[in-house]
Structure formats: C-alpha cells, structure tokens
Amino acid sequence: MKYEAQSWCGSNTLNRARARWAKSAAWPLILASVLVLGLIPHASARTTRSAAKATETIPAPIKAYGSKNAPITLEVFADYECPSCGNFYEETLRPMINDYVAAGKVYLVHCDFPLSMHKYGYEAARWANAAAIIGRFGEAEGALYGNQNYWAESGNIEKYMAAALSPTDLKRVEKLMDGCDMSVAPGSHTCPLDAYIEQDRALGSQIPVQATPTFVIYHKGQKFPAASGVVTWPVLKQFFDQLLSQ
Amino acid sequence: MNAVAEPVPRAPVSRASTGRILVLIGRLALAAVFLVAAYAKLKPQVAMPWSTVSVKTSLAMFAMEVDSYQLLPPSYVSLVAHALPPFELFLGLWLLSGIAQRFSALASTLLIAGLFTVVVRTYALGLSINCGCFGPGEQLGTTTLLRDGSLLALSAAVTIGAFLLRRKQGEAASSAVVAPQRAE
C-alpha cells in the first residue's frame, strides 16, 4: 500500500482555513498582535517550545492510505479500543482499502480520537503514530484492530506490534516510544507522539466528533456533513459511486 | 318570546369546535414536522444547486445513516432510504390537505411509532450514531427519544381526536336525519 508524503489528518480543513485567512483583511491587526505578544514574556513559553521541538525532531506520522490526488477523501476519527471502530475497520475500511483506495478513487486518512473511557486507547494511538512515522501505519492499524479484544484486556499492545512488525522496525518504533510509557498521562510533553494525537483530537473537536467512529467525506473541495457509526462497505460504496458519477 | 327564553345547548357545540381546532393545530404541526424532515433529507448536503444529482447524493448519504442503525441488509437499506423521504413528503402534504384526516393521522402515528421503536432499540443497544431524523448531524440521544416520544403522543392524540370527531359528525348527521321524522 502506498503512503503519501505530506498528508495529514484534517489537511482539507486546514487548507480551507488557510485560504480564508490569506483572503482576510485583518493582516495589520494580526501583525500588531504578533508584535505585542512577542514582547510579553509568556509563562508557558518553555513548554510550548519543548512541544514544538518534539514535533520538529521527528517527522510527522503519515496515517493515510492511497493517493492524495484521489477524487474522494475519507477522514475517519477513531479510537483503537472502541469496538465499533474495530467493526468499521474490519467490515468497511479493509475492503475499501483493497478496492477503492487501491484503485486510486479514495484517499483514506486516519485521525486519532482516543476516548477517555478507554483505558488503553491513547497508548494504542501512540504505538500507531510511532509506526506511522517509520511508514508502517497499515501494519500497526491492522494489528491493533485485529487483536483489539486481547490487548484491550491485558494492555499488552507491544506483543501484537511485535507480531506485526519486523524486528528492525519494532526497534525503531520502540525508540520513538521512549517517554511514552503507559504511566505517562495523555497529552504529556514527555511523549513527543502525543502532540500528533492532540492535534487530531483538536481537529475532531472542531467537527465536532461526538462518538467514534465519525467520518467526514470530501469531494471536489466540498465537505459533507460528518457521519457516525458503522456503515457497511456496500452502502458506503454506493455513496462513493454517486459522487464519482458526478 | 317563549322560544327566545329557551336555553341553547352551547356546551357540546363549543367542546366539538375546540376539539376540531385542537385536531387542526395538531395535524398542521405534524404536517410541518414531516415536511421539514423530508426537506432536510432531500436538500443538497453541500453547496450545490437543487437537481436530480443533488437529490440522489442526499439520498445516498441518508442511506448511510439508515445503515448505521444496523437493522437492515444493504439492499433493504437503499430501498428504505429512497422510499422514506418521499413518503414523508407525501404524508406532510396529505396532513396539510386535511383529506381523510383520520387516515392521514393514523398513517402518521404508525410511521412515527415504527421510527420511535427503532430509535429506542438503537439507544438501548448503546450505538453512537447520527439519528438522521432531520438530516445529518444530530447525534441520537435522550433528546431524540424525548422529541420522538412527544411526536408519537401528539400523533396518537390527533388520530384519536380525528376519529372521535368523525364519529360525532356521523352521529349528528344521523340524528339530523332522524329528527325531522320524529317531528312528523
């Protein structure tokens, strides 16, 4: 499966926001605000810098399948420990990846939205992000959803990642997981991967994501209203066919 | 002079007219609900003009919401998704017209009862999905249950009222026919 570079969750939303920002006539005000804020010593500057440093030192995880130039983009906000997300992946996304994503019709983007009600969902998202950084997101996601029932009970995610990745890749992933122990609170600055998860969560909150899985479909630069729950592949395919026929 | 002094039986007449007004208000409210529901499902979901393509796209999107209830196989999902919004539109217009109002009210009650049952089942199963009742975006929750339950109560009341009014009209008509015979 092909992993596109320079693609990230919410890129469509961000691009449109950028375009609107560029067109706005508020530039003098923005510049003035930046100058004023720059002069004020900020208490949280150190933590902001450390988070920014963390995201600078490691490349952004590519949690997507297919070509970015596909006519349809499907963004899925999911929690690896959520059973509905597991069903959605197995029954809908997996056949879609093999069919429409492989055919270049759909670009599938995964966005992390771990729910606080799930004990190991955030940790699983860290592993998936680490695997995505080294270009092994597909393997990691398949292993997480495929063995969801097991690691959701024991919390032993590493065991299933080890089975899905080669020893070399596992070592690279484990290195990226330094400071991301399960005892580390979600969103912590000690785990550089959390910045990416929080970025996805922030984008999800804008939609707003109220349950997982929630998915958003983009076609010809237009964003369709978000939908929640498990939709079967034949029904989703009918919708895509309707879009592709336009 | 004596005829003027006779008491006029006003109470039953005013009760019947109040009943008629209440049934009318309830019927118009139900009509509005169905027309809004149909419009929300059929309207273009993105910025595009109304067209056959936009309606087909909206119905295909609604099919995804029907599918998320995990109640029907995909072939039936498409059938229901394509039949429900036009039926809601038809029912809304039927209720609005007032033609055979007790039957339009009955059809409305049966439809809302069916939809309410599905919503209650989904809520009980704990599925986190969009309701799809009035277009996309509404998460199914307690608000949905309360609203749909209230609509069911309203529709049932309108149906009962419409049948009672019809019976009273029938009784009044038969007594009007019988009364001259007695007078003779």
Q: What integer pLDDT is reported at residue B64 of this predicted model?
A: 96
Q: What integer pLDDT is reported at residue B111 of this predicted model?
A: 98
Examine the pLDDT at B143 and tell me if it is beyond 70.
Answer: yes
Q: What integer pLDDT is reported at residue B3 of this predicted model?
A: 52
Report for A158-162, B44-48, B112-116: range of highest mean pLDDT: B112-116
Scan residues 66-85 of A and list those with Cβ closer than 8 Å to B: 84
Domain coordinates of chain A in residue numbers? 64-244
Q: A222 — contact with chain B (CB < 8 Å)?
A: yes
Q: What integer pLDDT is reported at residue B184 of this predicted model?
A: 45
Chain B residues lying within 8 Å of A225, measured CB to CB: 45, 61, 135-137
pLDDT top residue among B85 and A2: B85
CA–CA distance from A86 to each of A82, A151, A156, A162, A178 (Å)? 6, 13, 17, 20, 27
Q: What is the mean pLDDT of chain A?
A: 82
Q: For residue A134, how many C-alpha atoms fall within 13 Å in the half-sphere facing its CB?
A: 20
Examine the pLDDT at B6 and tell me if it is beyond 90.
Answer: no
CA–CA distance from A224 to each of A6, A88, A217, A218, B177 (Å)? 23, 19, 5, 6, 62
Q: Do A235 and B61 touch (CB under 8 A)?
A: no
Examine the pLDDT at B74 and tell me if it is beyond 70.
Answer: yes
Q: What integer pLDDT is reported at residue A241 of this predicted model?
A: 96
Q: What integer pLDDT is reported at residue A21 of this predicted model?
A: 44
| Confidence check on the interface: ipTM exceeds 0.90, yes or no | no
Mean pLDDT in residue range A138-142: 95
Q: What integer pLDDT is reported at residue B8 of this predicted model?
A: 55
**How far, in Å, CA of B78 to CA of B55, rounded?**
14
pLDDT digits 0-9 by tens, B151-183: 999 999 999 999 998 888 788 777 776 655 554
First-residue to last-residue Cα distance in chain B: 24
Q: Closest to B78 (Cβ–Cβ): which among A212, A238, A246?
A: A238
pLDDT digits 0-9 by tens, A109-122: 999 999 989 989 99
Q: Taking the mean position of all CA atoms in its chain, how far away is CA A36? A: 34
Residue B164 lies in a domain: yes
Residue B47 lies in a domain: yes
Residue B65 lies in a domain: yes
Q: Do A211 and B128 touch (CB under 8 A)?
A: yes
Examine the pLDDT at B10 and tell me if it is beyond 80.
Answer: no
Q: What integer pLDDT is reported at residue A44 of this predicted model?
A: 43
pLDDT digits 0-9 by tens, B23-68: 999 999 999 999 999 999 999 998 889 999 999 999 999 999 999 9
Mean pLDDT in residue range A161-168: 93
Residue B34 lies in a domain: yes
Q: What integer pLDDT is reported at residue A75 of this predicted model?
A: 96
Min Cα distance A114 → chain B (Å) is: 15
pLDDT digits 0-9 by tens, A186-195: 877 788 899 8
Q: Closest to A231 (Cβ–Cβ): which among B53, B67, B139?
A: B67
Residue B183 lies in a domain: no
Q: What integer pLDDT is reported at residue A185 of this predicted model?
A: 79
The domain tally of chain B equals: 1
Examine the pLDDT at A170 and tell me if it is beyond 50.
Answer: yes
Residue B77 lies in a domain: yes
Chain B residues lying within 8 Å of A85, measured CB to CB: none
Q: Do B127 and A210 touch (CB under 8 A)?
A: no
User: How many C-beta atoms lie closer than 10 Å to residue B130's C-beta?
Assistant: 24
Domain range for B122: 23-170
Residue B9 lies in a domain: no
Mean pLDDT in residue range A165-172: 94
Categorize the per-residue pLDDT at B11 as very low, low, confident or very high, splitting at 50, 70 and 90. Answer: low
User: Homologous superfamily of A64-244 in CATH?
Assistant: Glutaredoxin (3.40.30.10)
Q: What is the mean pLDDT of chain B?
A: 89
pLDDT digits 0-9 by tens, A68-85: 999 999 999 999 999 999
pTM (two decimals): 0.80
Mean pLDDT in residue range A60-66: 90
Residue of B53, B68, B69 for testing the chain A interface, max A β-carbons within 10 Å: B68
pLDDT top residue among A38 and A192: A192
Q: What integer pLDDT is reported at residue A68 of this predicted model?
A: 94
Query: Do the beta carbons of residue B69 and residue B118 sit within 8 Å?
Result: yes
